[in-house]
Structure 1
Amino acid sequence: MSSTRTHSTLVVLGAAALLTASAAVPQASAAGRTSTTLTWYDATAENIATAGASAQVTNSRTWAISWLAAARATRSVPAGVDRGTYQDAALAAAVHRALVTLVPSRTEQLDATFEQTLDAIPDGTAEESGVTAGERQADLVLASREGDGLDPTSVNAPYPVRPAAPGVWQPTPPAYAPAAQYGNRLAKPFLLKSPSQFRLGPPPALNSGRYAADLAEVRAYGAADSTARTAHQTETATFWLGSSLTLYTEPLRVALTRTNQGTAGQARLVALFHVALVDTQIATSDSKYAYERWRPVTAIRTGSIDPDPDWTPLHATPAHPDYPSGHNTYSGAAETVLSALSGPRTAPFRLTSPTAPGVTRTYTTWKQLSDENVDARVYSGIHTRSADEAGITLGTDTARYVLRNEKNLFAPR
């Protein structure tokens, strides 16, 4: 496949360049050569950021399908062909085939990147058989996930709000928008036996000391006009305000550049990360809508503990129940997968956030990201600490289950 092809400026120009091209993808400084794996990691990130779905879990599904296909395609190599050539071709073909199916508006850019990848791979049987394997695995995974309920319309299925009562979720100011993500709990997981498999126990009772302490903390530190919250705490809230999928794209890339597991191991890391995160988001909505716990703004304005009808959180409250925090279920799952597959510590890496322009933070463990997420949602005034800590637990439990049962993902097909 050595014919001359038209060069496109939108083709991947290097691992860092593609991420820089999209303001929606946070940046970190991490060393690493531009490999086929990184080229297609960056292509996945850039194309989803540019033309992805409106629902985060739908985009997580795109990642999971694409990289699960790549992991399966690179898992074994036929006898008599060059291993590296076969795996590079298989990974590129798998991710390309899945992405052009799931993000069709980016077909031209994806085709150009695919052609450039193949131009860099030696022609021959290894390349041809790798492409065939990658496309076959992508088709199989796509077929297995058809109708899984993770399209944006299904994700945001209508939710009948219960009458107002102490503790019961109600639409929140300023938009008073309808409930979002209710349909996640009706979707088909990748590995969980059911969305409710790791359903959390109930949140603290409204007459408990823990509930009173939670509410007092978010009232003091999460108010828009808080005098208790420090400038650094405000920065933390703003830094972690955006989409978890966006915020964790670069930490996963850092882990990817620092692994010595080879192409198949890299594909496995990305696949397991996103499979775990899809299942975590499904489990999150199950617990949220099982308990329907009101948000702090509703509790503080209308509850029985020193009601303040004018209290306003630092950041607008998302349109779904408090318990558990979705940002923290995501963090707990991400930390678990990254720690298991790349170790709990890493050399320092720098991270920026699209919601905090000009701010750069440095990390050496994945747990630091989780710890900041727990605090951030309190400082934003949109979650109680109980909801945040429960989120870490649910994400951790779900990810551990995925890791224990990964053989069911990678069985021969």
Structure 2
Amino acid sequence: MKSLFNNMFLIALLVIVLASCQENGEYEDVITDGSYQTAAQIRLTNVIIHDIFSPPVASRIYAYPSIAAYEVAVLADPQYKSMMGQLNGFEKRDFEVPEDVYLPLASLAAYYKTATALIFSEEKMTSHRDMAFEEIRKKGVPKKVFQKSVAFGEEVAEHVIEYSKKDNYHQSRSFEKYTVSNDPNTWQPTPPAYMEGIEPHWNKIRPFALDSAGQFKSVPPTEFSNDPSSLFYKEAEEVFHTINNLTDEQKDIAFFWDCNPYKVNVKGHVMFAEKKITPGGHWMGIASIAAKADGRDWKGTAEALALTSVALFDGFIACWDEKYRSVLIRPETYINKYIDEDWLPLLQTPPFPEYTSGHSVISNAASKTLTKIFGEPFHIVDSTEVAYGLPIREFESFRQAADEAAISRLYGGIHYMPAIVHGSTKGQKVGEHLLGKVSTKTENLAEN
């Protein structure tokens, strides 16, 4: 009996000691790296795919949660600089961190709160949040600390959510749809689904760093002509011959960077959709991979995701501004009409005008920000597409990855070369402008 009493006393004493350790901050190593935020981002990607958001809209959904998580990280480390007062219309607000707030958890709570406000399938995000939070609780974060941390993170999220409501997105949902023109040089819906033009008014969305959607206006596309001796015809012939003579490596590159969120398949009389990651989602995946490979903590991961998402968002705005200005015909339509009526591209043609290439713009914008953060060379083992049945690809720099993403659109048969070349230039300018206007490190302020 005495032995039993002694054992019970020791157990009770151990429980008291453990509780005391937790209350004294011994839970601080529960969240150290960016694994929880990466997991939340992967979940958000899956929801974006499920809800079938277009590439431009998806870039918006990635951006605001990443900014919210980053703004909490700023409060944890004086080397980081708030984006408030730097991004267009993002009003400054002084957040005082209450006692007993665990900022890594608050950052995660800010991400989940903001992300859930921007999607349709809210339960899919909240269920993932609940599982993550339960795991964190079980690792020893005291109840009082947990509750105050989540509440504080959601307070920061509310500020970001209010900021998001003023970017003209909700108003744009009621804008007129794109009206197809009969002009022979203009974009026409393509088979098999003949979908209407996606987001024709995206240039009216407030950018984060750009002065305007048309700040880096591209040179006009090559003058349209169906004359076989014309430059435009030769650009179409280049696409035609490239697809007819693709190597296995070129096919692999095209499929790896396809990132078509809604590919329509037709088998006999049956039509069904295949949903995949968006181009922006692919680059957000690369940012997460780079942060882990570089050993970044949760704050450094938040920085990489926030800056990358801002570059992607502005890249889509700049690109879509040109797309619906030039409204250029796609290679599939042109080649079928003037060169070979039976020709098909390797990839399914996306439902929006050709010029400039979206992949080229956003990939180069993202590569600029990632190179700024991680440097060059930087070995990337890109496993982003493994979940969608594709193998990894490896690169020695973000610029190399961006170059491959851009040329993949020629290999896919969905862009002429000028859209790729001038799209890449536009993306580089967007990225450079962002880095010149927005700083995430206090030590860089003097440089800007």
TM-score, normalised via structure 1 length:
0.79
Stretch of structure 1 that moved more, 90-99 or 72-81: 72-81
Residues 73 and 133 of structure 1 are in contact (CA less than 8 Å); yes or no, is this contact kept in structure 2?
no
Seen in structure 2, the aligned counterparts of structure 1 residues 358 and 138 have a Cα distance that, compared at 3 Å, is closer
Cα deviations across residues 337-382 of structure 1 (Å, max 9, x unaligned)? 1111111322352536269735332222112222222221111111
- The answer to whether residue 233 in structure 2 is matched with residue 220 in structure 1 is no
Residues 284 and 309 of structure 2 are in contact (CA less than 8 Å); yes or no, is this contact kept in structure 1?
no
Displacement of 1:273 after TM fit?
Answer: 0.6
Could you say which residue in structure 2 is the equivalent of 1:158? 177
Could you say which residue in structure 1 is the equivalent of 2:422? 390
Cα deviations across residues 188-227 of structure 1 (Å, max 9, x unaligned)? 22222222222212112236965344222101012xxx1x
Displacement of 1:276 after TM fit?
Answer: 1.3
Could you say which residue in structure 2 is the equivalent of 1:93? 109
Seen in structure 2, the aligned counterparts of structure 1 residues 358 and 288 have a Cα distance that, compared at 3 Å, is closer
Stretch of structure 1 that moved more, 188-197 or 329-338: 188-197
- The answer to whether residue 204 in structure 2 is matched with residue 172 in structure 1 is no
Residues 368 and 431 of structure 2 are in contact (CA less than 8 Å); yes or no, is this contact kept in structure 1?
yes
Displacement of 1:313 after TM fit?
Answer: 1.6
Seen in structure 2, the aligned counterparts of structure 1 residues 384 and 215 have a Cα distance that, compared at 3 Å, is same
Distance in 1, matches of 2:248 and 2:204, equals 41
Seen in structure 2, the aligned counterparts of structure 1 residues 256 and 209 have a Cα distance that, compared at 3 Å, is farther
Distance in 2, matches of 1:279 and 1:78, equals 27
Cα deviations across residues 121-163 of structure 1 (Å, max 9, x unaligned)? 6449876665444222210010011153446973995101222
Could you say which residue in structure 1 is the equivalent of 2:66? 67
Distance in 1, matches of 2:116 and 2:144, equals 24
Could you say which residue in structure 2 is the equivalent of 1:231? 248
Q: Which amino acid aligns with 1:134?
A: G
- The answer to whether residue 315 in structure 2 is matched with residue 280 in structure 1 is yes
Q: Which amino acid aligns with 1:203?
A: P
- The answer to whether residue 183 in structure 2 is matched with residue 183 in structure 1 is no
- The answer to whether residue 352 in structure 2 is matched with residue 320 in structure 1 is yes
Distance in 2, matches of 1:127 and 1:178, equals 47
Q: Which amino acid aligns with 1:73?
A: V
Could you say which residue in structure 2 is the equivalent of 1:240? 257
Residues 57 and 281 of structure 1 are in contact (CA less than 8 Å); yes or no, is this contact kept in structure 2?
yes
Please list, as runs of the form range in 1=range in 2, the aligned pairs for 1:368-407 lying within 5 A after superposition: 368-407=400-439
Seen in structure 2, the aligned counterparts of structure 1 residues 119 and 326 have a Cα distance that, compared at 3 Å, is same
Could you say which residue in structure 2 is the equivalent of 1:140? 159
Seen in structure 2, the aligned counterparts of structure 1 residues 154 and 96 have a Cα distance that, compared at 3 Å, is same
Cα deviations across residues 289-326 of structure 1 (Å, max 9, x unaligned)? 111111112222334xxx33332222221111110111
- The answer to whether residue 46 in structure 2 is matched with residue 49 in structure 1 is yes
Distance in 2, matches of 1:356 and 1:308, equals 32
Gaps of 5+ in 1: 3-32
Distance in 2, matches of 1:235 and 1:314, equals 11
Distance in 2, matches of 1:65 and 1:102, equals 9
Q: Which amino acid aligns with 1:219?
A: F
Displacement of 1:36 after TM fit?
Answer: 5.2
| SS in structure 1 at match of 2:127 | helix
Displacement of 1:254 after TM fit?
Answer: 1.7
Distance in 1, matches of 2:77 and 2:198, equals 46
Distance in 2, matches of 1:188 and 1:348, equals 32
Seen in structure 2, the aligned counterparts of structure 1 residues 309 and 130 have a Cα distance that, compared at 3 Å, is same
Q: Which amino acid aligns with 2:239?
A: V
Seen in structure 2, the aligned counterparts of structure 1 residues 102 and 333 have a Cα distance that, compared at 3 Å, is same
Could you say which residue in structure 1 is the equivalent of 2:222? 204
Q: Which amino acid aligns with 2:381?
A: F
Seen in structure 2, the aligned counterparts of structure 1 residues 152 and 375 have a Cα distance that, compared at 3 Å, is farther
Seen in structure 2, the aligned counterparts of structure 1 residues 159 and 363 have a Cα distance that, compared at 3 Å, is same
Residues 92 and 114 of structure 1 are in contact (CA less than 8 Å); yes or no, is this contact kept in structure 2?
no
Distance in 2, matches of 1:83 and 1:60, equals 35
Displacement of 1:263 after TM fit?
Answer: 3.4
Distance in 1, matches of 2:178 and 2:137, equals 47
Seen in structure 2, the aligned counterparts of structure 1 residues 121 and 330 have a Cα distance that, compared at 3 Å, is farther
Distance in 1, matches of 2:441 and 2:97, equals 25
- The answer to whether residue 287 in structure 2 is matched with residue 252 in structure 1 is yes
Residues 288 and 321 of structure 1 are in contact (CA less than 8 Å); yes or no, is this contact kept in structure 2?
yes
Seen in structure 2, the aligned counterparts of structure 1 residues 383 and 68 have a Cα distance that, compared at 3 Å, is same
| SS in structure 2 at match of 1:312 | coil
Residues 36 and 92 of structure 1 are in contact (CA less than 8 Å); yes or no, is this contact kept in structure 2?
no
Residues 236 and 372 of structure 1 are in contact (CA less than 8 Å); yes or no, is this contact kept in structure 2?
yes
| SS in structure 1 at match of 2:207 | coil
Seen in structure 2, the aligned counterparts of structure 1 residues 100 and 353 have a Cα distance that, compared at 3 Å, is closer
Stretch of structure 1 that moved more, 94-103 or 267-276: 94-103
Could you say which residue in structure 1 is the equivalent of 2:123? 105
TM-score, normalised via structure 2 length:
0.73
- The answer to whether residue 324 in structure 2 is matched with residue 289 in structure 1 is yes
Could you say which residue in structure 1 is the equivalent of 2:275? none
| SS in structure 2 at match of 1:279 | helix
Distance in 1, matches of 2:180 and 2:172, equals 18
Displacement of 1:261 after TM fit?
Answer: 5.6
Structure label with greater radius of gyration: 2
Seen in structure 2, the aligned counterparts of structure 1 residues 204 and 324 have a Cα distance that, compared at 3 Å, is same
Please list, as runs of the form range in 1=range in 2, the aligned pairs for 1:336-355 lying within 5 A after superposition: 336-351=368-383, 353=385
| SS in structure 2 at match of 1:76 | helix
Distance in 2, matches of 1:408 and 1:339, equals 14
Distance in 2, matches of 1:187 and 1:81, equals 32
Stretch of structure 1 that moved more, 357-366 or 312-321: 357-366
| SS in structure 1 at match of 2:75 | coil
Could you say which residue in structure 2 is the equivalent of 1:193? 211
Q: Which amino acid aligns with 2:419?
A: A
Seen in structure 2, the aligned counterparts of structure 1 residues 402 and 197 have a Cα distance that, compared at 3 Å, is same
